A and B are shown apart, each in its own frame.
Chain A
Amino acid sequence: MSKIREAFANGKAFIPFITCGDPDLAMTKACVLKMAEAGADLIELGIPFSDPVAEGPVIQDANERALRGGVTTDRIFDLVRELRTEISIPLVFMTYANVVFSYGTERFMNTCKEVGIDGVILPDLPYEEKEEFQQPARAAGVDLISLIAPTSEHRIAMIAKEAEGFLYIVSSLGVTGTRSEITTDLSSIVAVVRANTDIPCAVGFGISTPEQAAKMAAVSDGAIVGSAIIRLIEENGSYAPERLYKYVKTMKEAVAACN
């Protein structure tokens, strides 16, 4: 069984996202350790890409800062090696298809396995194109995580049937970034997912407050938060790890209360 399941074993999951290398890898490491300590059930590690088409301005800027700071895929693999000496919660990469393809898909997936990455999320890799990435991922024992969008409609069942790890449900139209309101009818999406797979599903895009996270977790198995975390790192300088500890603790409590 996929290790990612463990993330959903302690009640509803809270899943933070962080862009590796923003502003530097030492800060990323400190933040990841603090978020794990605060109760994050799974952490998404973003490998920055020069042109992240699914991201809103906050994560776009984080990608740019990280790349300007000289971060590379290899240095992020090294970071994961270091993290794995201290934490055991599931870790997944979130990046773009070209980062993986350019590294050599097989080599990338094998290195993921070697350093202890449990899954990979590629927002520009839809169902129709996943085969080429899924084969090497499967061979390495890494889950290729699929996304479902508010526009997926009749595609939901097809995607859910072949899903691995967990399903990433995109809460609303558009790109990543905080939103004041999420109006998508998520319960009917989740109902179709449940009818087709027993893999857990978490909702992401636009979530920043404990109330929103609780609402999303109530209809699914967990909540994913990205932009709000990037912003906290940006605003709090060297205090960011401590600030994130408090934030993640509050968010985890909010989603856990939904059970």
Chain B
Amino acid sequence: METKKGRFGIHGGQYIPETLMNAVIELEEAYNKWKDDPEFKWELSVLFNEYAGRPSRLYYAEKMTRDLGGAKIYLKREDLNHTGAHKINNVLGQALLAKKMGKTRLIAETGAGQHGVATATAAALMGMECVVFMGEEDTKRQALNVYRMRLLGAEVIPVTSGTATLKDAVSETMREWTRRISDTHYCLGSVMGPHPFPTIVRDFQAVISAEIKEQILEKEGRLPDAVLACVGGGSNAIGSFYHFIEDRDVRLIGCEAAGRGVDTYETAATIATGREGIFHGMKSYFCQDEYGQIAPVYSISAGLDYPGIGPEHAWLHDTGRAEYVPVTDEEAVQAFEYLAKTEGIIPAIESAHAVSYAMKLAREMDRDRVIVITISGRGDKDCAAIARYRGEDIHE
């Protein structure tokens, strides 16, 4: 929750070139005008329910619960949404808003390609032009998603600057926005960037926790003891946490990508290894060197491979309201395989980070306890990479 305009404690703000200031002000005004408008809300709920397939299921993972022998485990199935991840929630909201603002063109960054595919999907649906910026490294690793975006009518531009990954794709999309503003909306993919993006994206993702609350009350007649989600920028996590922030007895746990470990340079665990900084439009925690140069980060999961974290998470960390824990590649891969074998559900490798920590936590909890894990996306996209990690060479 904002502490003052665009701020979450000391985090957030609008650290962007002057060229973009009127664009974000215009966006904020439009959002404030439309967010409570009955027609806008109705149109968005139709898109959510009829197109994206909401509400997503809250599934009781009985076999997993029995196997671990502790807390009752529920899975919030964002992987069952259209396009296979929670990303569509935010994208449908922003595309609808952009349309109301008279914009005809969407630009977006993407890491693994999930947000790019979701944006290309919304653009196709709403008849808008779409350009997606993707690190050149990622276009090679996720060739299938590049094809998917092109199939949906989007132009995919490989980004060669810097480390040619997600952070560079964000920088390049910002640069593109300064080139062409009047007809273009930057459809940012996570709860990051300059105000009002962290608030807008959070509001569109908050549907996740609104549904969890209703569904768990119906199934269990009580609130969960803990809600877990993976955190890169943090959009599925904030969506999963938001409506529980005031419920102090519900533990909120964000699972960061530790890569090869928080004591190595090959990590993307921002809360564990980063410090306060200013980057990509916001003040928050970032992985950086002593002179403030942003660190090249690493995780097996392209979606969590980002050197920062959204400002609201930084604040939830400062206030102690949410906990952030690092999960390594190896732990995430084990959880990926475990959920597939135990429940017949292949989670995104991002979501597997949350599954991994939940497995440890559930074991330590009594059987009358209840935890919810958000499965933010499905894992089909990761099968080749995980196979490679396990030493098998698979060609898609």
Contact of A174 among B22, B178, B293 (CB under 8 A): B178
Does chain A have a CB within 8 A of B18?
yes
Contact B288 A128 (CB under 8 A): no
Contact A126 B22 (CB under 8 A): no
On whether A170 and B294 interact (CB within 8 A), knowing A101-B278, A129-B13, the answer reads no
On whether A175 and B293 interact (CB within 8 A), knowing A147-B18, A151-B23, the answer reads no
CA distance A17 to B315 in the complex (A): 38
Among the stretches B62-70, B107-115, B166-174, the one at the interface with A is B166-174
Contact B294 A54 (CB under 8 A): no
Q: How far is the CB of B308 from chain A (nearest CB, A)?
A: 11
Contact A129 B178 (CB under 8 A): no
Using a CB-CB cutoff of 8 Å, which residues 178-208 of chain B contact chain A?
178-181
**Dominant SS among interface residues on chain B:** mixed
Contact of B21 among A50, A64, A128 (CB under 8 A): A128
Q: How far is the CB of A158 from chain B (nearest CB, A)?
A: 11
Task: Fill in one digit per residue for A44-63: 1 if any B CB lies within 8 Å of its CB, else 0.
Answer: 00000111111011001000
Chain B contacts of A239 at CB under 8 A? none
Does chain A have a CB within 8 A of B292?
yes
Contact A155 B288 (CB under 8 A): no
Does chain B have a CB within 8 A of A102?
yes
Chain A contacts of B22 at CB under 8 A? 151-153, 155
Contact of B291 among A57, A103, A175 (CB under 8 A): A103
Q: How far is the CB of B194 from chain A (nearest CB, A)?
A: 9
Does chain B have a CB within 8 A of A125?
yes
CA distance A40 to B248 in the complex (A): 62
Q: How far is the CB of B81 from chain A (nearest CB, A)?
A: 31
Contact A102 B181 (CB under 8 A): no
Using a CB-CB cutoff of 8 Å, which residues 1-35 of chain B contact chain A?
13-23
**Number of residues of chain B lying within 8 A (CB) of chain A:** 35
Q: How far is the CB of B3 from chain A (nearest CB, A)?
A: 16
Task: Fill in one digit per residue for A148-181: 1 if any B CB lies within 8 Å of its CB, else 0.
Answer: 1111110100010000000000100111000000
Contact A126 B279 (CB under 8 A): no
Chain B contacts of A123 at CB under 8 A? 17-18
Q: How far is the CB of B305 from chain A (nearest CB, A)?
A: 15
Q: How far is the CB of A72 from chain B (nearest CB, A)?
A: 5
Task: Fill in one digit per residue for B275-297: 1 if any A CB lies within 8 Å of its CB, else 0.
Answer: 01111110000101011111000
Contact A97 B278 (CB under 8 A): yes
Closest partner residue, chain B, to A152 (CB atom) = B18
Contact of B179 among A52, A146, A170, A173 (CB under 8 A): A173
Residue of B17, B280, B294 with most chain A CB atoms under a 10 A cut-off = B17
Contact B19 A151 (CB under 8 A): yes
Chain A contacts of B179 at CB under 8 A? 173-175
On whether A149 and B288 interact (CB within 8 A), knowing A98-B294, A174-B179, the answer reads no
Which residues of A are at the interface with B, using a C-beta cutoff of 8 A?
Answer: 49-54, 56-57, 60, 64, 67, 72-74, 96-103, 123-129, 146-153, 155, 159, 170, 173-175
Which residues of B are at the interface with A, using a C-beta cutoff of 8 A?
Answer: 13-23, 161-162, 167-168, 171, 174-175, 178-181, 276-281, 286, 288, 290-294
What 8 A-B pairs are tightest by C-beta distance, nearest first? A102-B292, A149-B19, A174-B179, A50-B293, A98-B292, A97-B278, A149-B18, A50-B294
Starting from the known contacts A50-B293, A149-B18, 10 additional A-B residue pairs (CB-CB under 8 Å) come to A49-B293, A53-B174, A57-B161, A74-B291, A99-B291, A102-B292, A129-B14, A152-B18, A170-B18, A173-B180
